[in-house]
Amino acid sequence: MGERIRILLPEDEVDRRISEIGRQISEAYNGKHVHLICVLKGGVCFTCELAKRITVPVSFDFMAVSSYGSGTESTGQVKIKKDLDEPLEGKDVLLVEDIIDSGNTLSSLLELLWMRKPASLKICTLLDKPSRRVRDVKVDYVGFSIPDEFVVGYGLDYDQKYRNLPYIGVVEFDD
């Protein structure tokens, strides 16, 4: 069985939207320093592109989490695979995600991050699948709301492939 990729969001559209979000964040954090937390691995491409478009001072940290265990459905229990290098206390934090669907992992991650006493904590995601939401989470900056399809590109993968695509595509499997 093979797969092919159908373009859902072309590169120029993704680029334009990231620029718009960068402007919104720059305005919201005017006069402040924003601390970006990239959720690895999928969020790295979006985080880097977004940071280039933010005009206020930024710093970065990275976190790798898992909530899947051995199954394909999220358990909602976050396992930290790589924790932050810097404390969050007193910082204006922007958590940057590649995609949000059920909200289970994000909800648990937010609880953990709030315990570290940031001055503020907001969420930015490139892609949102609101139809899959199980836990209510407030997402402050959304690139695109998308249908419930399996997407790749811009950091998102299928079996560790397609992360480097400069657009968002849908994986379609041959029969």
> Would you call 12 a catalytic residue per the annotation?
no
Give, in order, the Cα–Cα distances in Å from 61 to each of 9, 21, 40, 124, 162. Answer: 28, 19, 10, 15, 24
Query: Distance between CA 157 and CA 160 in Å, rounded?
Result: 5
User: Please, which residues have CB within 8 angstroms of residue 28's CB and are 6 or more apart in sequence?
Assistant: none
Given the residues 101, 128, 140, 157, the one annotated as active site: 101
Burial (0-12, 13-18, 19+ Cβ within 10 Å), 27: exposed
- Phi, psi dihedral angles at 143 (to 5 degrees): -70, -60
CB neighbour list of residue 19: distance below 8 Å, 6 or more residues apart: 53
Give CA separation, 160 vs 8, 98, 138, 172, in Å: 19, 15, 29, 16
User: What gap in Å lies between CA 149 and CA 114, rounded to an integer?
Assistant: 31
Catalytic machinery residues? 101
